[in-house]
Amino acid sequence: MRVAANADLIDDREYAAPPELVFEAWTKAEHFARWFAPDNVEVPLCEIDARPGGVIRFQHRWPEGQLVSIRGVFDEVVAPTRLSFTFTFVDSNDRPTVNAMMPEWPVGAHIVMTVELVATARGTRMTVAQRVAEPELADSAPIVRHRKLAAIGWSQTAERLVAYLERRTAWDS
């Protein structure tokens, strides 16, 4: 995997689905919105323009009612094997803001998420890594706490992706 040395590996698993299907799950809003959230969290808004420089925008609505808005930009999109995007928490006007679920998170700090997909005999090996874009923040207490929470949240999110993909061999939307 070609990720930065300071990236955290948050998932490495095999899916019983072809790389093209997994890639579409990441790059088409109608699919991404159905799985990209921890347990019991909804994705009420999702917009994806999956091309280098294209915008990704989505929201997470937590069971308690908190709404977290996220906006990013695709850095790399190579169908069906690799994608990378950088995102931050924003307000309704796309300005960096406090994350209601992690108020200590540094406003304007960016997360870089990298996804690599490799065809296997069973389907696809997907490796996901993320890192904080600003090196000076990488070892700050809020970022270290986030890494632990991200690992838990990603585990739940990945299980949602497993369930979503394993119901399909081709998209039915």
* 108/11 Cα distance (integer angstroms): 25
H or E stretch covering 156: helix 141-166
pTM over 0.85, yes/no: yes
Domain with 44 in it: 8-166
The answer to the question of residue 82 being in a domain is: yes
Residues shown for the chain: 173
Quote the number of domains for the chain.
1
CA angle 20, 23, 24 (to 5 degrees): 85
The answer to the question of residue 2 being in a domain is: no
The answer to the question of residue 104 being in a domain is: yes
Joined together, the tokens standing for residue 153 give: 């949240």
The answer to the question of residue 173 being in a domain is: no
The answer to the question of residue 3 being in a domain is: no
Indicate which CATH number applies to the domain containing 69: 3.30.530.20
pLDDT in tens, the chain (173 residues): 444 455 677 789 999 999 999 999 999 999 999 999 999 999 999 999 999 999 999 999 999 999 999 999 999 999 999 999 999 999 999 999 998 888 999 999 999 999 999 999 999 999 999 999 999 998 888 888 888 777 888 889 999 999 999 887 555 54
The answer to the question of residue 59 being in a domain is: yes
CB contact set of 101 (below 8 Å; sequence gap of 6+): 62, 66, 68
